[in-house]
């Protein structure tokens, strides 16, 4: 997770990304 970056647009995906410990960005389309 320390070297992972997630781009996510769904609420469930954002929650999963947050729990994973990885860095993440919220994408709005």
- Cα separation of 15 and 17, whole Å? 5
Burial class (CB in 10 A: 0-12, 13-18, 19+), 6: middle
pLDDT band per the 50, 70, 90 thresholds, residue 5: very high
Average pLDDT of 15-22? 98
With a cut of 90, say whether residue 10 has pLDDT above it. Answer: yes
pTM, to two decimals: 0.79
Looking up tokens 């781009």, which residue turns up? 7
pLDDT band per the 50, 70, 90 thresholds, residue 1: confident
Cβ pair 10, 24 in contact under 8 A: no
Average pLDDT of 4-28? 98
The pLDDT of residue 2 is 92
């Amino acid at each position: 997770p320390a070297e992972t970056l997630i781009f996510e647009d769904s609420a469930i995906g954002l929650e999963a990304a947050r729990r994973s410990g990885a860095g993440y960005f919220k994408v709005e389309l």
